[in-house]
A and B are shown apart, each in its own frame.
Chain A
Amino acid sequence: MTSMTTAKPAQTQIERQAARDRTTTAVSPPVDVYETDTGYVILADMPGVRADGLEVIAERDELTIRGRVDRQEEAAPNYREFELSNYYRAFTLTQDLETNDVSATLRDGVLRVEIPKSARLRPKKIQVHAE
């Protein structure tokens, strides 16, 4: 036991942020992830979130989505089956994706994120020349 600093690798910024998020009341939204010829699509159920409360960040090999629920209830419900919380979820991205070109749209509480594949991975039809 010569050094305290070598005991544990330093946390990355993302890990620290994730740890902070876990201590608040963020829930993990259910997602669908599917592949198309040109990229990947993530659909996440985040009811109660408006566009200005949404944050989608692609950083190195991680994509994080955060949704802040910002609404005032007129009165406490007399009967309650759901309680809205903030949302948080992180995804690991492979290196073959164009993280600079991610697009996100929100409609009726469903977030849609499109992540294009690098051009070299898109299917390319090869012209065959007869000799």
Chain B
Amino acid sequence: MFEPWQEMRRLQRDLEQVFSRVPSARWPLTGEYPPLNVTRTEQSISVEALCPGMDRSTLDVTVVGDAVSIRGERNPPADVPAERFHRRERPFGKFTRTVSVGDVLDPDRTRATYADGILRIQLMRAPEAAPKRIAIQS
């Protein structure tokens, strides 16, 4: 299957290694887009996705069971013919990524914000999946 995002990033990595004098951006080696960070606390699970310049109307977050799916699309600058480009390093297209966080989630209490090119999703565990402290009986 042709994976345009993965292909673009591989090309970009190769190009940066050849031409760049500054260190290249640390793209994940998983080849998935967008790269994610997951932070778990007792109260919630936070997922951050690095996806600058998305068309906001296409961003979509879905929670099912213990999985969160992120969808989005980024379009190239409108009305610019290919021959006008001197450099094209930024990837475009549609993406879908799903991660399982291991705990059953409560979709109704999910919050998502998009700022500075980072999508932040605050996930809450379903009541039955929330950690419970067990009293130790003497």
B24–A27 touching, CB < 8 Å: yes
A76 vs B39: C-alpha distance in the bound complex, in angstroms? 7
Residues of B within 8 A of A85 (CB): 25-26
Residues of B within 8 A of A109 (CB): 52-53, 116-118
B92, closest chain A residue (CB)? A32
User: CB of B20 within 8 A of chain A?
Assistant: yes
- Of B62-70, B78-86, B103-111, B130-138, the one contacting chain A is B78-86
Residues of A within 8 A of B26 (CB): 27, 82-83, 85
Can you give 15 contacting A-B residue pairs, CB < 8 Å?
Answer: A27-B25, A29-B25, A32-B77, A33-B86, A36-B80, A47-B50, A47-B116, A48-B116, A49-B116, A77-B37, A82-B35, A108-B52, A108-B56, A109-B116, A109-B117
Using a CB–CB distance below 8 Å, which chain B residues touch chain A?
A: 12, 16, 20-28, 30, 32, 35-41, 46, 48, 50-54, 56, 76-77, 80, 84-91, 114-118
* Known interface pairs A48-B116, A109-B116; 19 further A-B residue pairs with C-beta atoms within 8 A, sorted by A's residue number: A27-B23, A31-B87, A31-B89, A32-B76, A32-B89, A33-B87, A34-B85, A34-B86, A36-B80, A43-B53, A45-B53, A45-B90, A47-B51, A47-B116, A77-B37, A81-B32, A82-B50, A89-B22, A110-B53
